[in-house]
């Protein structure tokens, strides 16, 4: 299967400031791909390039179309939730949805289904100007997925959302993927990246510092060979991977003193902190 | 076609909820109506008033409304949402122009209710207003494409629109201004409206020249800046 997104040595600069300096990537069909990186790394810039909104150097293609030449026919297959995209604030939630449904030639019944999935049921008649930030974000998502796009761009889709709404959005993303949508998202939420993404890339200082499945990346950076036991007294014990530890662990198990056992590979946040030397949060 | 209708539909709904736009589209017919009622029986009232206000309406409203809609859509990012949904830029501009012309003709046709027009004059009157509305819409599109946000667009469209629409009125009182007015498309529209809808060759030439000029500027700006930049 051909890659949905294909980047070869993509560069981008604003004036003298080089933001991307040679990005090469392939994103496959039905993949959820996460772009991680510290604030200002160029994640949004990359999405803007991919959606044909910014000039760039190198080769960037989606569905085999050069991004600089994306026309409205290609846009029909894309959905995007970006900061720069707005909603009609003087119109109601439903009127906004109706507009995009008509443009995409989607039947009206599809609207209520999507509205339920993003948790906006009951707010259809409210003017969007009166929506909270999170509600607007969800409505944007609803408008972007109404036509079941082949490729979906999400710039920090769950930032500022409460955990239960974020979970609803995650399940919507999974459902879309099952139905054949490829998803490219950026996030600062390492937990989201680990659980949702098939592969992630870490963008740092204009290049991709690491790319792969979250699990593989975590395993790759696991330098110590150890495991952690939390005892029934809530005591945390790190044990090296050695024959002596087996005795100690067996003793705790036999004594019924074990609450949990953990592997000790670093989580994504720790790996990326190590790679960037910076915190990932804004 | 489907896309144009959806944009037209959304624009009608949006404008009905937008007081400033509503005001711009309705102000001149309303003022004319009030003036005519207030000055009923006086010789000055009647046709002359109607054609004066109709000129101001068809020259001012489309230019300011078109530039305001486009610049606001840029500023709020809704234009980007439309484009990302596969609406072509040209389709968008055509739909907005259709809305602006339709809305100003709808409110503008109320001028016909303010006096007794025979069918032929009414037709000519509406046609002249239509010509003015199309030319002004082109001007409004140019200003909208050239402006980053509504403040910039209004800062340009309001003074330009006012000048273009007021000069034909002032021309009634001053010969110097009347000469300038003849060089403006609005002045020529005013002449047609005041002269029972008859069009002379030089009037047709002046209006045609403005249509061509605004179209050329529009194409130039569109090619150079695209739609989203400004
Ligand atoms: N239009 C622009 N003009 C000039 N510089 C820009 C522009 N857009 C982005 N930049 C610069 O490019 C860099 C990358 O910005 P970008 O928005 O892509 O970062 P990001 O990774 O999305 O950050 P965040 O996580 O905070 O959203 C920043 O240093 C920013 O200042
Ligand atoms: Mg960003």
Which residue, among A154, A151, A155, has the nearest Cα to A27 in the 3D structure? A151
Cβ under 8 Å to A: B residues 63-102:
76-78, 80-88, 91
- Candidates A75, A86, A100; nearest CB to B77: A86
Q: How far is the CA of A47 from the centre of ligand 2 (A)?
A: 9
Burial state string for A240-254 with b = 16 or more CB within 10 A and e = fewer than 16: eeeeebeeebeebee
List the single residue in B5, B14, B91 with the smallest CB-CB distance to A88.
B14
- Residue A230 β-bridge partners: A236, A260
Contact A90 B18 (CB under 8 A): yes
Cα(A40) to centroid of ligand 1, in Å? 5
Q: Does the distance separating the beta carbons of A91 and B10 come in below 8 Å?
A: yes
pLDDT digit string (tens) for chain B, length 230 residues: 889 999 999 999 999 999 999 999 999 999 988 888 887 766 655 777 888 899 999 999 999 999 999 999 999 999 999 999 999 999 999 999 999 999 999 999 998 888 777 888 889 889 999 999 999 999 999 999 999 999 999 999 999 999 999 998 888 888 888 889 889 999 999 988 887 777 888 989 999 999 999 999 999 999 998 887 76
Long-range Cβ contacts of A114-121 (<8 Å, 24+ apart)? A114/A142, A114/A145, A114/A146, A115/A142, A117/A142, A117/A168, A117/A171, A117/A172, A117/A175, A118/A142, A118/A168, A118/A169, A118/A172, A119/A165, A119/A168, A120/A93
Q: Pick the ligand that lies closest to the CA of residue A39.
A: 1
Q: Three-state SS across B190-225?
A: HHHHHCCCCCCHHHHHHHHHHHHHHHHHHHHHHHHH
- Residue B6 has its nearest CB partner, among A82, A90, A99, at A99
Q: Would you say A267 and A218 are in contact if contact means Cβ atoms under 8 Å apart?
A: yes
Tell me if chain A has a CB within 8 Å of the CB of B1: no
Q: Domain extents for chain A?
A: 5-218, 223-264
Residues, Cβ < 5 Å to ion ligand 2: A 44
Q: What is the pLDDT of residues B13-62, one digit of tens each?
A: 999 999 999 999 999 999 988 888 887 766 655 777 888 899 999 999 99
Q: Which of A83, A86, A103 sits opposite B87 (nearest CB)?
A: A103
The whole-angstrom separation of Cα A25 and Cα A9 is: 9
Please check whether residue A45 is in contact with residue A55, taking contact to mean a CB–CB distance below 8 angstroms. Answer: no
Task: State in Å: Cα A42 to ligand 1 middle.
Answer: 5
B84, B148, B149, B230: best to mutate for the A interface, most A CBs within 10 A? B84
Is the distance from the beta carbon of residue A37 to the nearest atom of ligand 1 less than 6 Å?
A: yes
Decide whether any atom of ligand 1 lies within 6 Å of the A19 Cβ: yes
- Interface confidence, given as ipTM, is 0.89
pLDDT digits 0-9 by tens, A67-82: 999 988 899 999 999 9
A271 in ligand 1 pocket by Cβ < 6 Å?
A: no
Q: Return the ∠ at Cα B165 (arms to B162 and B168), rounded to 5°.
A: 135
| Substitution candidate for ligand 1 out of A16, A19, A187 with most atoms within 8 A of CB | A19
Ligand nearest to the CA of A50: 1
Q: Does B228 contact A89 at a Cβ distance shorter than 8 Å? A: no
Range list of β-strands (E), chain A? 5-14, 17-27, 32-36, 57-62, 65-66, 78-81, 151-155, 182-186, 199-204, 207-212, 226-231, 236-240, 258-263
Q: Assess whether the C-beta atom of A122 lies below 6 angstroms from ligand 1.
A: no
pLDDT at residue number B128: 92
Nearest atom in ligand 1 to the alpha carbon of residue A282 is 26
Q: Which residues pair with A60 in a beta bridge?
A: A7
d(CA A42, CA B214): 40
pLDDT for the residue numbered B226: 83
A44 lines ligand 1 (CB under 6 A): yes
Model's pTM, two decimal places? 0.88
Instruction: Return the pLDDT at A280.
Output: 45
Instruction: Please check whether residue A214 is in contact with residue A190, taking contact to mean a CB–CB distance below 8 angstroms.
Output: no
pLDDT digits (tens, 9 = 90+) for A199-218: 999 998 889 988 999 888 88
Decide yes or no: CATH 3.40.50.720 for domain A5-218: no
Produce one character per residue of B30-50: b if its CB has 16 or more CB atoms within 10 Å, e if not.
Answer: eebbebbeeeeeeeebebebb
Number of CB pairs, chain A paired with chain B, less than 8 A apart: 72
Residues in A closer than 8 angstroms to B7, CB to CB, are 99
Q: Please, what is the angle between helix B47-76 and helix B119-146, to 10°?
A: 30
DSSP state at residue A127? B
Residues near B91 by beta carbon (within 8 Å), at least 6 away in sequence? A72, B3, B4, B7
φ and ψ of A60, to 5 deg = -130, 120
List chain A residues with pLDDT less than 50: 280-282
């Amino acid at each position: 299967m051909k890659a949905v997104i294909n980047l070869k040595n993509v560069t981008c600069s604003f004036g003298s400031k080089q933001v991307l300096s040679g990005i090469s990537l392939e994103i496959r069909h039905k993949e959820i791909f996460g772009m991680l990186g510290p604030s200002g790394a160029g994640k949004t810039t990359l999405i803007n390039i991919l959606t044909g909104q910014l000039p760039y150097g190198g080769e960037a293609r989606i569905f085999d179309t050069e991004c600089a030449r994306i026309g409205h026919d290609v846009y029909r297959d894309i959905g995007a939730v970006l900061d720069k995209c707005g909603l009609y604030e003087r119109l109601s939630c439903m009127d906004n949805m109706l507009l995009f449904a008509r443009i995409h030639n989607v039947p009206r019944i599809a609207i209520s289904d999507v509205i339920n999935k993003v948790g906006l049921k009951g707010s259809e008649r409210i003017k969007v100007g009166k929506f909270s930030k999170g509600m607007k974000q969800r409505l944007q998502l609803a408008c972007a997925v109404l036509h079941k796009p082949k490729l979906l761009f999400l710039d920090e889709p769950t930032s500022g959302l409460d955990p239960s709404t974020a979970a609803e959005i995650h399940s919507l993303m999974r459902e879309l993927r099952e139905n054949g949508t490829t998803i490219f998202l950026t996030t600062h939420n390492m937990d989201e990246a680990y659980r949702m993404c098939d592969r992630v890339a870490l963008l740092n200082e204009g290049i991709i510092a690491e790319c792969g499945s979250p699990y593989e990346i975590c395993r790759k950076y696991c330098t110590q060979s150890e495991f952690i036991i939390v005892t029934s007294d809530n005591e945390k014990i790190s044990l090296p991977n050695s024959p002596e530890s087996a005795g100690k662990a067996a003793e705790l198990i036999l004594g019924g003193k074990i609450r949990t056992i953990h592997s000790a590979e670093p989580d994504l946040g720790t790996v990326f902190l190590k790679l960037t030397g910076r915190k990932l949060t804004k | 076609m489907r896309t144009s209708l959806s944009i037209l539909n959304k624009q009608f709904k949006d404008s009905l909820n937008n007081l400033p736009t509503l005001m711009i589209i309705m102000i001149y017919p309303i003022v004319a109506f009030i003036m005519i009622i207030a000055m009923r029986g006086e010789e000055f009232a009647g046709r002359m008033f109607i054609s004066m206000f109709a000129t101001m309406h068809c020259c001012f409203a489309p230019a300011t409304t078109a530039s305001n809609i486009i610049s606001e859509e840029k500023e709020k990012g809704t234009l980007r949402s439309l484009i990302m949904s596969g609406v072509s830029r040209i389709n968008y501009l055509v739909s907005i122009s259709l809305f602006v012309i339709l809305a100003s003709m709808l409110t503008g046709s109320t001028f016909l209710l303010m006096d007794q027009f025979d069918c032929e004059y009414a037709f000519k009157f509406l046609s002249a207003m239509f010509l003015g509305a199309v030319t002004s819409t082109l001007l409004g599109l140019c200003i909208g494409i050239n402006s980053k946000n509504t403040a910039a667009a209004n800062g340009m469209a309001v003074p330009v629109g006012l000048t273009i629409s007021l000069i034909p009125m002032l021309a009634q009182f001053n010969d110097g201004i009347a000469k300038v007015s003849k060089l403006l498309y609005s002045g020529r529209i005013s002449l047609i409206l005041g002269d029972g809808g008859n069009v002379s060759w030089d009037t047709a030439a002046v209006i045609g020249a403005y249509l061509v000029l605004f179209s050329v500027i529009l194409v130039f700006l569109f090619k150079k800046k695209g739609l989203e930049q400004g």
